[in-house]
Amino acid sequence: MSISRAARLTAALLGCASIAPLAAQQGTAPAWTHGGVCYEIFVRSFSDSNGDGIGDLNGLIQKLDYVAGLGVNCIWLMPVAASPSYHGYDVSDYYHVEPAYGTNDDFKRLVAEAHRRGIAVLVDMVLNHSSSEHPDFQAALHDTTSPYRAWYRFARTSPGKDWHHSPVRDEYYYGVFWSGMPDLNYETLAVREEAKEIATFWLRDMGVDGFRLDAVPYLVEQGDCVMGCPGTHAFLREYAQHIDTVKPGAYTVGEAWGSIAKMLPYYPDQLTSYFGFELSDSLFSAVRSGWAAGLLTGYLRLQDTLPAYRWAPFLSNHDQTRTLTQLGGDVARARLAATLLLTLPGTPFIYYGEEIGMTGDKPDPRLRTPMQWSAGPGLGFTSGTAWESAQPDSLTTTVAAQDGDSASLLNLYRRLIHLRKENEALATGKLVPLTATSPHVAAYLRRTDGDAVLMVANLGDTPATHIVVSSEAGALPAGRYSVRNLLGRAGGAPIAVSADGRVKGYVPMRGWISPHGSVILELNRQ
């Protein structure tokens, strides 16, 4: 422990200054969230620059032009701090990069290169627990007089589930996820101060633009309460205020798994945003079932409650079965899911490899396999032997195979991500639901004061013919609109909007919409 850190610990144990709660955190959206999309990367699996089979920071730097070419303007890196585990969610040193990935200087170079391309950098911050190999936990484990005893939770007898027997003496310590991840005790002031100091280090010294916060509901346990306790909300307010002081406009997105009802207590003055797990569930349900009912419910609820930059829709992530696997290998459905995600509001996150249709299912390492750049033994990922074996389709589902194919899933993602940035209605527009004459068709508008886009998607397994869409009053300003197809060649018929702002009986396509197909129409008022 450094002298400065020891001094902070001593000061924190002696007393504390009160922290006024924020009235409203992150009042202004970070610039990158304007039409922005964030891309989740597992560094270990993205690109290996030195042939040891493990992806690294220099490899990622070499692939930044690909990332920029997707159109994303943010990357979220799964944990990059030193850790004894392959996944990094048990941190043993919060101030140094995992040696297998490179050095702190390599990381700073990555941030500089990302910023040069207009890409913000978020890193995974694991606050709930440390590694059992962290020096602080080892000190607490071996010395009952250590000040670090108060940084963790110990008991002479096991209070029950999630308490693990100490390897040193006859006692127990608390770790909600695993014995190798002892929970930090945020009721101890020094722990809260150290968490803030770590944030300062990554924001100031390492140059990041914000954090993804892992497992935030579990931060503070109080009595029988282990999730979403009052102390958790209090600390998140304290933490958010600190981040905003260190780097105004820094973006934080929290993992608070569950429904929107379970997510909303973490607003308005805690983290910037949270992942929309309910949104993911409803989107997959609509694409799998072929029924439009319920698709927009969660989006409309969040839109009525919060600015769109403060909630983060997604399809899958590093803990979940990959999209194409969830959809039974149906690429048409995967294309539809991507189109819905990227035309609906919020700040979308995309897991690496989803854009080419990578597959993967539990256990976790099989969700995080190496990026499939090209066919061959190393997949274009490594010149050595990859840390994890490739998926069965790795020789056919590659970036190289899809790059030049205008009809590929990869190029659909590229077009949609760029459209979202370039079209103001898709970037920031309000979501307006429409009714369609088929229960298998989802239809909605995205509109600003001056721009509008109409999205019509056939969720069904058969062609949708003679589809007619309508709206409630106030959907659009009255007038006549010309129509331009944003993804295809054929335009649609003009739209006439009545004086009360209703769209009445509009036929978006004179022919039919293919199974799992969609039409994205830009509306221009004459």
Report, as residue numbers or ranges, the catalytic residues: 214, 255
**How is residue 376 written in tokens?**
């061959």
Residues in the chain: 526
Buried b or exposed e, range 83-95, using 16+ CB within 10 angstroms: bebbebbbbbbbb
Instruction: Look at strands 120-125 and 210-213 and give their pairing.
Output: parallel
Cα separation values, 524 from 58, 416, 425, Å: 45, 19, 11
The rounded distance, in Å, linking the Cα atoms of 241 and 276 is 23
The rounded distance, in Å, linking the Cα atoms of 61 and 267 is 35
Q: How many Cβ atoms sit within 10 Å of the Cβ of residue 479?
A: 13
Name the DSSP class of 493.
P
Sheet with strand 172-174: strands edge to edge: 154-155, 172-174, 163-165
Cβ(178)–Cβ(132) under 8 Å? no
**How is residue 97 written in tokens?**
């990069």
Q: Which of 267, 355, 352 is nearest to 309 (CA)?
A: 267
Cβ(75)–Cβ(119) under 8 Å? yes
Host H or E run for residue 428: helix 424-428
